[in-house]
Structure 1
Amino acid sequence: MSDATKLLAEKRTEFGKGAARKIRRAGNIPAVMYGHGTAPVHISLPGHDTFQALKHTNALLTIVIDGDEQLALAKDVQRDPIKPVIEHVDLVVVRKGEKVTVDVSVHLEGEAAPETLVTLDHNTLQLEALATNIPDNVVVSVEGLQAGTQILAGAVQLPEGSTLVTDPEALVVNVTQAISEEALEAELAEAEAEAGIEHEVAGEEAGEAAAGEAAAEGEPAEGASESSES
């Protein structure tokens, strides 16, 4: 992980929804920082810089308050469900050399064998790592894997300095045989037949079919106009 992002914070003396709205209108983000037995500190963070920093999962932050620096991790980030806005941040205090438990995303790379389907059953793995060295992701290669291959959490190669917390028997990647389009259509047709579903032929297609049958028998199709005698 890269060096901690430094954010200049200001202590808050006003609380409640009204105070929080006022902070957000000023382009800042209300936050609270706690941990290591210290009393919670209510602060205001710079909106743009904080938004950019928290684009990265498990971002390590250096919070500067009145000249004093404190390392922290974002424990909970409340985002607006519609607008790209952070409404509130909970920060947990960390120390250099301290290990923390975090969820790290799983990234697949490579191509499995032809005609296979790769399913990612666990999008993240829970790891224990140094607060100052949290990996950005865990890479799992599926290159050339055949149908029937399963990768469990305990078999995943972890970044140096990280320890697995997730159950080692948890299924992370499952490689199965891909079903062909023909087999899929056959299964669908069979299921529809069992359910008694019948497809009606469209009116235009029915008319064309009737015209074709009539032409084969040498008779005009129903509804078709007869040619006038010359």
Structure 2
Amino acid sequence: MADATLSVQVRDEFGKGAARRARRAHLVPAVLYGHGMDPLHLSLPGHEAMLALRTDNALLELNVAGESTPRLALAKQIQRDPIKRHLIHVDLLAVRANEKVVVEVAILVTGEAAPGTTVVVDRNTISLEAPVTDIPGDIEINVEGLQAGAQVIAKDLTLPAGVSFVGDEDETILSVTHEAVEAVEEPEAVEEPEAE
């Protein structure tokens, strides 16, 4: 059911110094909140968390030290080091196995539009409401053979069972236009000097 299982510790130290010590110990500070619960401050195992969070909208099963029942969570916000790209902090949203959540899902464009056209993608991600245990990894749009002037709007999307679009169903997701043709400048004629 879950995409990854992590064994996590409850944090009782806070602040920058505590966060630095946690990172030196290869732990990632995190906070779990949602469903009216008090925020729970956690330490995630660094390497395992990094692997688990490579996938967007990964459903995590958290085995919290001292608790007998695992908790389910989705990463709501991930902070990464801008240079080394390792995890600095993770905000986790507590979820239940039987609920639906609203998530951003990537658009995957496949196929080749008609020759002499360009595909203009208006949205790289779309908001979907999906069962927490069955969130699609991406939504594929096949543009094979589409002619200039063709559009794909939200209500044209093929969505998995139980998944619905959140927003205006007439919103344009992508369109096909004529390829821009650059004008080729004629070289200027060079006047030859008159013979004396």
Q: How many pairs were matched up? A: 193
Partner of 1:84: 85
Distance verdict in 2 for CA 1:12–1:3, change over 3 Å: closer
Matches within 5 A, 1:122-201: 122-180=123-181, 184-186=182-184
- Which residue type is aligned with residue 24 of structure 2? R
- Which residue type is aligned with residue 165 of structure 1? V
Residues 128 and 166, structure 2, Cα contact 8 Å, conserved in 1:
yes
Q: Is 2:76 aligned against 1:75?
A: yes
Taking structure 1 as the reference length, what is the TM-score of the superposition? 0.79
- The runs of 5 or more residues in structure 2 that have no matched partner are none
Matches within 5 A, 1:1-230: 3-66=2-65, 67-180=68-181, 184-186=182-184, 213=192, 217=195
Deviation string, structure 1 residues 108-127 (Cα, Å, up to 9, x no partner): 01100000010110111100
**Which has the larger strand fraction?**
2
What is the DSSP-based 3-state SS (H/G/I as helix, E as strand, rest coil) of the residue aligned with 1:122?
Answer: coil
Shift of 1:68: 3.2
For the residues of structure 1 that align with 2:175 and 2:78, how far apart are their CA atoms? 31
- Which residue type is aligned with residue 13 of structure 2? E
For the residues of structure 2 that align with 1:42 and 1:68, how far apart are their CA atoms? 17
Residues 2 and 61, structure 2, Cα contact 8 Å, conserved in 1:
no
Shift of 1:36: 1.1
**Which has the larger helix fraction?**
1
Shift of 1:176: 0.3
Shift of 1:9: 0.2
Deviates more, 1:60-69 or 1:141-150: 60-69
Taking structure 2 as the reference length, what is the TM-score of the superposition? 0.92
Deviation string, structure 1 residues 58-113 (Cα, Å, up to 9, x no partner): 00000111243101000111111111211000001111110000010000011000
Deviates more, 1:2-11 or 1:39-48: 2-11
What is the DSSP-based 3-state SS (H/G/I as helix, E as strand, rest coil) of the residue aligned with 2:147?
Answer: coil
Deviates more, 1:88-97 or 1:60-69: 60-69
Deviates more, 1:150-159 or 1:8-17: 150-159
Shift of 1:185: 2.6
Identity among equivalent positions (%) equals: 46
For the residues of structure 2 that align with 1:3 and 1:12, how far apart are their CA atoms? 23
For the residues of structure 1 that align with 2:81 and 2:95, how far apart are their CA atoms? 27
- The runs of 5 or more residues in structure 1 that have no matched partner are 190-198, 202-208, 220-230
- Which residue type is aligned with residue 57 of structure 2? N
The ranges of structure 1 where at least 4 consecutive aligned residues each deviate by more than 6 angstroms after the TM superposition are: none
Cα RMSD of the aligned pairs, angstroms, is 2.1
For the residues of structure 2 that align with 1:170 and 1:78, how far apart are their CA atoms? 30
For the residues of structure 2 that align with 1:97 and 1:68, how far apart are their CA atoms? 16
Shift of 1:155: 1.1
Deviation string, structure 1 residues 118-141 (Cα, Å, up to 9, x no partner): 011011110000001000000011
What is the DSSP-based 3-state SS (H/G/I as helix, E as strand, rest coil) of the residue aligned with 1:96?
Answer: coil
- Which residue type is aligned with residue 160 of structure 1? A
For the residues of structure 1 that align with 2:52 and 2:145, how far apart are their CA atoms? 37
